[in-house]
Structure 1
Amino acid sequence: MFKKIPFRRIRWPGWVVLAAIGLSFLYGMTQLVEAIRFEPESNSGSPLTIDFKTDNENTDTYTMSIKIPVMENQHIKKPIQGWINDEKKAFLQEVKENKSQFGSGSRAHLVIQADSRKSAGDTIHILLHSYQLVDDVRGEEHVKTFTINTAEKKIVTLPDIMETSEEAVNMIQKRLPEHPGDKVQKAFQNPASWNWTLNNEALTLYFNGIDEAGPTEVQIPIHVILPYLKEKAAGALKVAGTSVEPGEKYVALTFDDGPDPDVTPRILKVLKDHDVHATFFMLGSQAEKYPDIAKEVAEAGHEIGNHSDHHKDLTKVRKEEMTQEVLASSRKIMSTTGQLPTVLRPPYGAINNEVEALAHDNGSTLILWSVDSLDWKNKNVNAIHSTVQKEMAPGAIILLHDVHSTTADALPGLLTMLEKEGYEFLTVSQLQSKLAVETASPFYGNMKKG
């Protein structure tokens, strides 16, 4: 979401002073720097040159400051200039309809900013941000993006580089904040008209008209969007440590706080029935208390991780106690399961430099999560299913707990639901290997609850 421009809350005639200062600054910068030149590399012909100029207009009833991309290629220039003209036309029409408000120092304002951003391969983005204020209550903001293939010198839409199937659209829509359904459905009608930017870290989408406060921004990490990208677009991205091919849908199930004598065996049976291997982040104290259950987990072929000895927040204890919590747990897990854990999930997902250093010194990778099932909070089968489905995406690590009976109740339906959606299950280390991540730093984490 774009932050509101502070002067939105300034009432007349404060606008006049602020607008004068802003326009003077823009004019001075325009004189100082005649144009900002952006010359993306092209593998054929001359580079596509994009300059920017700022047009200012002051009248008794309004001010306009518009930064305009300037280029020779008319095929690209025409739709960009067309959008700017439409914004100006709508603004001037609204000024006309509200002309009785203006005069004696009261004016309407239109500001359009333009920016260029490098994307993948031979593409760049032109991002236009329009802000217009015609009364002293609130302004209107709009975002428009144009993605340009500089080699072929043409505008690219999202469906040109990404599958916009129902599954992909639903995945994106689930990441929106709650809004009235009719506004969301209208905004999602035509993926070819969506406003977006793409880089090696994320796909960012900008939706106008959903929220009255301004454009709604949705940012999707690159590892989530990669399976939906078309081969050429995926190949152009330099995604650090990624070897998952487009279309592959791998996820990891993880279980914390066990083993538990009642719940863990039930979970093991469901996993066996579905031929799924998971990662169990055990507490050393629990493994010591229920050694037969811990051993059963390991013998079933599941990965064993370290979740500390007594589930203490490692960032809130002395270094000596933090070290003891991790090493004692590791010894107890090794003694009962025969596996030396090489993945560590700190309780509550709480980390700091000392926790990272401890993991590194002991050859462990810190593992957090990207989907919190909230089974620890809701303890309701339908709620668990709904929460996971809403947050689900390829490459996810799902947080569950093998100490709640409702988690065992929910697991059969959860696995069936994800299997129907085409997901395959890996252990955390297998997923880490699949994504070619070699680091002791946190792997896929949202600091929620663990």
Structure 2
Amino acid sequence: MIKRIKLPGWIVIISLFLLLIVGVVSMMQGSSEAKEKTEDYSVYPGLNIKTKTKETDLYTFSVSQPYTEHKQINKVIDEWVDQQKTDFTSEINIMEDFLKKNEFRAHLNIQVETEKIADQIYTLEFEAYQITGGANGMTKVKPFILDLNQNKMLQLGDVLQVKEASIKEIQKLIMKELNSNKEINDYIFEELAKEAIKNPDNWKWSISRDKMGVYFDEYEIAAGAAGRIKVEIPMKKIKPYLNKDFVEKIDITFPEEKNNKEEEKHSEDMVELDPNGKYVALTFDDGPHPKVTPQILATLKKHDAKATFFMLGSQVDYYPTLANEVAEAGHEIGDHTMNHQDLTILGIDQIQAEVQQSNSVIKKAAGRTPNLLRPPYGALNDNVKQIAANMELPIIMWSVDSLDWKSRNATAVNEEVMANVAPGSIVLLHDIHPSTAEALPELLTTLEKQGYQMVTVSQLLELWEDKGVGPHYGNIK
């Protein structure tokens, strides 16, 4: 039979076979994609954020970095962030002997403010602060304007009329705003300022629904005492020079924000514990994360376990619905500051701002104000303690470090915790690493077999009748 099939017949059979294979592969891929698809928790559609932290004997760094599904947009942002890291690392190499001799840790913090201008159009304002020695650090600012509808970074010509007459009028507005600012007026070098804005291609600028911002680095147009400078021109003044197409885009009407939920006590937090019970408090830092946090919530629910989540305000700003889900599930939410800065290198007013801003963002999202504080990196000094005391926020450290941030391995995480856990331990974990979510089912099962019950940090403090500021570390083996 096979011998009777001529060449054209074989071609048809082979073609059908190949189509069958392609169809099966496509079905498998579609199935895989369906399994991997996760709910979009971001309040900025098309835009997500990741926070990366690192700690060594010489330095710490924390980077909050938005990302999209568009590789070209991500590439532009990545290149700028990577350059800040490179500059910082180079400075560390130069200052290594100084840092060791003076027992001083350098620090790099990159944070971002995000503003929605219109549907899928955002302004990202990055601020990179680094300090590698001495009394003062260095701050750099970089704005990006993203149009995800067109998959591009907006340039000045996409927003403004770049005709010579229009540019001259905008230059006058910039100088007027600089000269009217009494706080920095005495430090401004007018000739340097005029030179800095001479070429619009070199402007660092941003746009929002109510103003245009123009940025200058430290020492660029003023004495160092002025710091970095941002000029803000009200929209009513800049609107005549905007492109008509852009004006139409930003005139989109946004729905009103939903009213904040009233703050309420959750009964799960108020359960009285048996003084003779065997308890451990699992704590999760740096979230919420759109993929990892939901996995952890599902596992905790399956084991009827409660935990404490120390959230970053910058993450909650992007994922408020997820923060609310954590609260609604009966878990405790603590404050991990707004931008994961080393609080010990900040002034007391800056420390207070970091904590208060995060408190406000979390309350708006979750419906209740955090009642605990965990300083990033566990870095403490008298100023941090004073702010915590003023705000009546107990400082919560940890007695068991899972080292999940280091190993990124589920087995290693379980081994590290079980080797050190004891009744009354406070365990440090992070709900930003997939390996931590993978480790949790086995970790909870093992703890339960040894008679442990998972509770919140506040429940432990209530059990110990310890309501002071602390710091509180928990028990070790």
State the TM bucket, normalised to the shorter chain: 0.3 to 0.5
TM-score normalised to structure 2 length: 0.42
TM-score normalised to structure 1 length: 0.44
Q: Which has the larger helix fraction?
A: 2
